[in-house]
Structure 1
Amino acid sequence: MSMATHGEPAKAAPSRRPARTESTRQKLFDASMRLIGERGPGNVTVDEIAAAAGVSKGTVYYNFGSKSDLIAQLLEHGVELLEERMRTEDGDPLQALELTVAAALDFFADYPSFAQLLVSEMWRTPSEWRGTLTLLRERLVSIVADAVRRVAADQPVDPDVPVEGVVGAVFGATFILGLDRQVFHPERTRSEAVAAVMTIMRGYLRQN
């Protein structure tokens, strides 16, 4: 996993640091998301994250160097997990897009603190992790873009609406609805949220 500090793009970790195992990263991710959800990133220390994860704080400092580095890499780890869920197998393009949206909403339901941190920092200027989040956002947008373009290639769409705009609308709606559902409207079902996002895509299709 790469590293980023002070809003700079992610860089390769120094070779002197041993590779971290997936299990250790997952422990740190789960612990940090739990603590950040309770108090926010500014009020959580590396020592607390290490203790909650059951990992030596010396190991955390050695591998990450600082809390900024730790949060940057945990953001990347979370996005990697989200990417895995959002990638759907080939099939009916419209159904595949719906599954991609549903997978993102499910992930946010599983990791609400990550959803809040990702969305708040992604659209906040300036952000300490701006450079890292820009790269991570591009990775997530590309998954949505591929799914939307498959639909556009499979069915007639409105030629007056740029596909890039539809991609942005679907991406933004998925993330904001996912966060809104966790924070303000937990009574809204997954199906309702998916249907709301897919309304954007269905409006893009031309009616025969």
Structure 2
Amino acid sequence: MTTQERRAALFAAAEALFGARGYDKVTMDEIATAAGMSKRTLYQTFADKNELLRELIGSSYIWPEKAFEVDSSDPVDELRLRLRVMVDHVLSVRHIGLCRLAISESTKNQGLADTFVAMGIGKSREKLIQSIERIPEKRRVLALPSEITAGMLYGATCGLRLTRALLTGAEPDIQDAYATVDTVVAATFK
């Protein structure tokens, strides 16, 4: 088993256990057992449970780089597709669970919130901005900086839905979010 495969197995085991029982109630021994590895192997990969959590939250295991890849010759369509990919990820049951985990543990695990913001929010925001900047000025309905437009698009498509899911436990309606993507892109770009 390669180091990357070992890390992925440990991440999967930790994510499942943390989601089912909570971070504090899970031991490193239980994570190793669930991953089919020895505790020694686990500690050779991660120094402690805090490091495992930080690495899990900040890794490409959560949102692989390929998730950002969309293919369209039309820059407005590319943006629409990228927003749909974001909807799929951000509003997934898995991501909502990881958000709850990151929020609940961020006060006890220094740097966790910063890692989560940088790897998730920051990276996806950067990709949205890149997509918007590919769109010629003449196709933009609003004369706003790309950073502001990205925030508006994210907020309209994912922001409120994610907040509602985190606070109420209600599962977001992905089809409704897709319809919102189509509506806001059509209203913002020609």
When normalised by structure 2's length, the TM-score is 0.76
Instruction: Determine whether 1:194 maps to 2:175.
Output: no
> Residue 122 of structure 2 corresponds to which residue in structure 1?
138
Instruction: Determine whether 1:157 maps to 2:149.
Output: no
Is 114-123 or 126-135 further displaced after alignment? 114-123
Residue type matched to 1:184 in 2? A
> Residue 112 of structure 1 corresponds to which residue in structure 2?
93
Q: Tell me, in whole angstroms, the C-alpha distance in 1 between the residues paired with 2:38 and 2:32.
A: 6
Please say if residues 28 and 53 of structure 1, whose CA atoms lie closer than 8 Å, have aligned partners that are also in contact. Answer: yes
Q: Tell me, in whole angstroms, the C-alpha distance in 1 between the residues paired with 2:186 and 2:105.
A: 30
Instruction: Determine whether 1:184 maps to 2:167.
Output: no
Residue type matched to 2:34 in 1? A
- What 5-or-longer segments of structure 1 have no aligned partner? 1-19
Instruction: Determine whether 1:60 maps to 2:42.
Output: yes
State the Cα RMSD in Å: 3.3
Deviations 1:43-98 (A, max 9, x none): 32222222111122211112211111001111122466343212213421222122
Q: Tell me, in whole angstroms, the C-alpha distance in 1 between the residues paired with 2:35 and 2:106.
A: 30
Q: Tell me, in whole angstroms, the C-alpha distance in 2 between the residues paired with 1:100 and 1:123.
A: 29
- The structure with the largest helix share of the pair is 2
> Residue 100 of structure 1 corresponds to which residue in structure 2?
82
Q: How far off is 1:113 after superposition?
A: 3.2
Instruction: Determine whether 1:168 maps to 2:154.
Output: no
Residue type matched to 1:165 in 2? I
Please say if residues 174 and 197 of structure 1, whose CA atoms lie closer than 8 Å, have aligned partners that are also in contact. Answer: no
Equivalent pairs counted in the alignment come to: 184
Identity of aligned residues (%): 25
- What 5-or-longer segments of structure 2 have no aligned partner? none
In structure 2, the CA distance between the partners of 1:97 and 1:62, relative to structure 1 (3 Å rule), is: same
Is 116-125 or 89-98 further displaced after alignment? 116-125
Q: Tell me, in whole angstroms, the C-alpha distance in 1 between the residues paired with 2:17 and 2:182.
A: 33
Residue type matched to 1:52 in 2? A
